[in-house]
Amino acid sequence: MSRILGHPVVAFLARRIVYSAIVLLGVMVVTFALVQLVPGDPVRIALGTRYTPEAYDALRAASGLDRPLPQQFLSYLGGVLTGDLGVSFRDGQAVAVTLMDRLPATVSLAAVGLLIAMLISVPLGIWAALHEGRISDAAIRIGSQFGVSIPDFWLGMLLITLFSVTLGWFPSSGYIPISQSVGGWAHQVALPGLTVGLVAGAIMTRYIRAAVLEVVDMSYVRTARSKGLPRHTVTFRHIVRNALVPVLTIAGIQLATILGGVIVVEVVFAWPGLGRLVYDAVLMRDYSLIQGAVLLIAALFLLVNLIVDVLYAIIDPRIRLS
Amino acid sequence: MRTHSAALTGVAVASILALTACSGGGESVDLDGTTDSSSESSSEGASGATVIAAIAGEPDQLDPNNTSAYFSFQVLENVFDNLVEPDENLEMQPALAESWELSDDQLTWTFHLREGVTWHDGTDFTAGDVAYTYNRIMDEELANAWRFSAVESVEAPDDSTVVITVTQPSPNLLSSIGGFKGLGIVQEANVTSGEIQTAPIGTGPFSVTEYVSGDHISLAANEDYWGGEPEVAGVEFRFISEPSTALAALQNGEIDWTDNIPPQQVADLEGDDALVLGVEPSNDYWYFALNQDVEPFDDVRVRQAIAYAVDREAIVQAVSYGTAKENQLAIPQTSAWYTAYDEYNYDLERAQELLDEAGVSDLEIDFMATSDYPESSTAAQVLASSLEDLGITVTIRTPDFATWLDEQGSGNWDALMLGWLGNIDPDDFYYAQHHSEGGSNFQGYSNPDVDALLDSGRVETDEAARAEIYAEAATMIADDASYIYLYNPAIIQAWSPDLEGYVARSDAAIRFHDVSLAD
């Protein structure tokens, strides 16, 4: 038993879980405080522009907003510890249920977006670095600069105009769960996934090019070359492998960014993800939903970081899980 | 080694897909277990095709008595019924009540209900449901409780009779209970179980079968509907907030109907054979108000000066590309309650004279528009540029609507702009906004003569006399520049030529009962 607990991976995971719990508690405190500081009254929003003062008091009391703040926070904290994220002000539904409804759409869009981004950026970034200063490098750099500068809103509309309206190949909006129909899901996710992927891919191409360039100048690469190793062996065994760690870091950050909500892309393609949910929740001052969504996104962020850290150790055994 | 890097990517992606699979894609609320997958919904149903309609946002909840969101009412219009309902000319017609009579003292309304009406779950609809609904709104102080301010009691002496007793003659009672789905009749069991918020049961032409958060709501035709079974198998409301996406989806044949049209494209769409465009003048209105609790806007001459500086034509062009209709009072020309008024035509000289008379110069105005209604910020900019010609400095703030409402309530503004939606009876247009005791009189207007007129309009049962009262009150309100009225916006909708029998209505109610969909 002590052997299992003493195993570096288990110890690492245990430490990370404790660390994550502390981070999440901090997230909860900060989110709760920020939500209170934002002007705008959820009761007024829910009632619309016309109501009686009695209706205002009745709804405020019914939703617990008339209680003192410390009491509200403690009851929120107690709820979270028992897995209850509270009830949405907007529709009276359990926040946890709403978030789980929206999570698959966000996760699948993020996965497809990241996959497309990797397919674009890994070959282009490596190629550009290995051909530094040549025309192909310049072309890739200009292309990625272009991709970074394009507003995702505009790119999305462009793809809709081309692939939906003109060619009629893909739908412009909507979502079908992967559990319901893989083909239908793929058809729906194509355009929003491409939008996310092109933008993220352009950013990642630049980072990967820089990461590979750094490795190219390392002494061990020169040594390998001077030993007379074949060109592709040097490229893949020495350069690319060592450049993977920074690549993984940037991929992790990109993935976390996408998970945190590509609000604009979700709005353009009417994609029922977390980004739009959070956006609507903020407009409605739906306190429980905002707090729950931020907590979930923070947890996903920590999870992605954890996966990235474990992958580091797999790529490069010199990196210890510590 | 390339395979190595691909494998790593694969690990990352696979772990994410596993996460997707864990959560099971279980977002659909299958309410009766009979609905098919939503992807099939555009195909043929039992008795025809399903209409796919795109609305600009998601309903907050589906309890008609509890919501105040327009997106909810767009859906619920087809699910719930009221005792009476407005026809296309906004006259009240029988709905769940087949007939009604009013006692000689004008204080007792007796409604006779339609026989044989059933709820979507098959149980019988009775007068008890009506009494339950109205008492619920009053007892629980729901948002619409103000519509029953004159109601003393609602009773159901037998299953087919509802008696409403009022404390004073209430000529606007019918439009109060019929003009708005917020007063839709709900079922007690559906309310007490809490299911009404996501799985409402109504008596309307369509029943809610599936609600997928963030994506769509599916309705199925109610074959037992008292008004006759709808011709289409159902309606699917999709939530598409971006107007250009909604339009692309319509042009691409993915949807059959939308009211989410970029206004700047309306002129182009008029010649487009691929769709039908409905532009209908609405009963909504946009206004501009000055805070009369703040100097110098307590001086009527200053407010009038600003009213003369409003270039309505420029505003209408800027916000609606000419689709809206300029107006100097609240009620549009198409209404039976319309009053002609054209005092404040754009006249900067007159405006300057009035400012000079009031001894006001170097005026600075803190103008509150809201980013959630972009037309208010656009109109604010046009207004600001006219006022600059009078030497007035305008600072425009555009908080989001939640903040805007807070600021309005706290009086922290000099000028603001907003619209009122969906009014029918003149009392709705004027009382809450301009009576000294009105619940929405945030601009601080008080004129005893107007108060007296608005009080008498509430109880006057002779229609012609009532029209005169409101014409007088409206004119006084405009003369005092309590609100500076700007325009009535147009209802703009577009649909596929295959969708037959659809009518764009001035109250923006979207009804699919009478439509059919060609293949």
pLDDT in tens, B370-392: 988 888 899 999 999 989 989 99
Domain shared by B509 and B484, yes or no = no
- State whether B13 and A240 contact (CB < 8 Å): no
Dist CA A207 CA A201 (whole Å)? 10
pLDDT of residue B14 exceeding 90, the answer is no
Same structural domain for residues B433 and B300?
yes
ipTM of the complex: 0.84
* DSSP structural state of residue B424: -
CA–CA distance, A204 with A148 (Å, rounded to integer)? 10
Distance from the A76 Cα atom to the nearest Cα atom in chain B, whole angstroms: 22
How open is the CA angle B178-B227-B72, to the nearest 5 degrees? 50
Our count of domains for chain A comes to: 2
Report phi then psi at B252, rounded to 5.
Answer: -85, -5
pLDDT tens per residue across span B297-326: 999 999 999 999 999 999 999 998 889 999
Q: Are residues B395 and B508 in the same domain?
A: no
> What is the pLDDT at residue A232?
76
* Integer CA distances (angstroms), A196 to A103, A189, A201, A279, B15, in order: 17, 10, 8, 18, 19
**pLDDT digit string (tens) for A135-179?**
989 999 999 998 888 888 889 999 998 998 888 899 998 898 888
Contacts of B239 in chain A (CB under 8 A): 270, 272
* Residue B481 forms part of a structural domain: yes
> Which residues in B lie closer than 8 A to residue A273 (C-beta atoms)?
214
Final residue in a domain of this structure, among A36, A69, A95? A95
Summarised one tens digit per residue, pLDDT across range B453-473 is 999 999 998 999 999 999 999
The predicted structure's pLDDT at residue A229: 77
pLDDT at A6: 62
Bigger pLDDT: A34 or B20? Answer: A34
8 Å CB contact of B248 and A165: yes
Evaluate whether residue A29 is within a structural domain: yes
Predicted pLDDT of residue B35: 40
Average pLDDT score, chain B:
88
- Residues of A within 8 A of B176 (CB-CB) are none
Q: For residue A51, what is the nearest residue in chain B, using CA coordinates?
A: B143
Q: How far apart are CA A45 and CA A39, in angstroms?
A: 12
Q: Nearest residue on chain B to A167, judged by CA atoms?
A: B252
Q: Do residues B98 and B152 both lie within one domain?
A: yes
- Looking at the structure, do residues B273 and B373 belong to the same domain, yes or no? no
Q: Report the domain count for chain B.
A: 3
Q: Which of B72, B141, B425, B483 to mutate to test the interface with A (most CBs of A within 10 A)?
A: B141
Between residues A315 and B298, which one has the greater pLDDT? Answer: B298
Q: Is residue A199 part of a domain?
A: yes
List chain B residues with CB under 8 Å of A161.
248
Could B20 and A180 be called an inter-chain contact, meaning their C-beta atoms sit closer than 8 Å?
no
Q: In chain A, which residues have their Cβ closer than 8 Å to the Cβ of B1?
A: 236-237, 240-241
Binned at pLDDT 50, 70 and 90, residue A244 comes out as: confident
Write the DSSP assignment of A185-232 as a string of letters.
Answer: HHHHHHHHHHHHHHHHHHHHHHHHHHHHHHHHTSHHHHHHHHTT--HH
Instruction: Round to whole Å and give the CA distance between A291 and A27.
Output: 9
- What is the residue range of A199's domain? 96-315
Does one domain contain both B237 and B253? yes
B228 within domain boundaries: yes
Residue of A nearest to B144 (CA): A51
Residue B14 lies in a domain: no
Q: Given this model, what pLDDT does residue A49 score? A: 77
| A44 vs A228, residue with greater confidence | A44
The answer to whether residue A87 is domain-embedded is yes
Do A147 and A286 fall within a single domain? yes
Q: Do B399 and A277 touch (CB under 8 A)?
A: no
Length of chain A, in residues: 322
For residues B94 and B151, state if they share a domain.
yes
Q: Looking at the structure, do residues B169 and B221 belong to the same domain, yes or no? A: no
> B253-292: per-residue pLDDT in tens?
999 999 999 888 888 898 888 899 999 889 899 999 999 9
Q: What percent of chain A has pLDDT over 90?
A: 23
* pLDDT above 50 for B59: yes
Domain match, A295 and A147 both? yes
pLDDT computed for residue B160 by the predictor: 95
- Contact criterion met (CB below 8 Å) for B510 and B259: yes
Interface check B99 vs A, CB under 8 A? no
What is the Cα–Cα distance from B441 to B436, expressed in whole angstroms?
Answer: 7
A92 and B12: CB-CB below 8 Å? no
Q: Which of A74, A95, A116 is the last residue of a domain?
A: A95
- Please report, for the domain that includes residue B238, its CATH number: 3.40.190.10
Would you say residue B341 has pLDDT above 90?
yes
Query: Do B159 and B88 share a domain, yes or no?
Result: yes
Distance, CA of B113 to CA of B111 (rounded, Å)? 6
pLDDT at A320: 62
Distance, in Å, from the CA atom of A139 to the CA atom of B131, rounded to the nearest integer, reads 73
B250 and B347 within one domain: no
Is there a contact between A44 and A67 (Cβ–Cβ < 8 Å)? no
- Nearest chain A CA: its distance from B98 CA (Å): 30
A171·B254 Cβ contact <8 A: yes
Interface membership of B249 toward A (CB under 8 Å): yes
Residue B434 shares a structural domain with residue B290: yes
Residue to test with chain B: of A38, A45, A181, A306, most B Cβ within 10 A: A45
| CB-neighbour burial class of residue B518 (10 A; exposed 0-12, middle 13-18, buried 19+) | exposed
For residue B357, name the pLDDT band (cuts at 50, 70, 90). very high
User: Containing H/E element for B196?
Assistant: none
Domain of residue B139 covers 80-192
Closest chain A residue to the Cα of B419, Cα to Cα: A49
Residue entry with tokens 């923070």: A298
User: What average pLDDT score do residues B109-123 get?
Assistant: 96
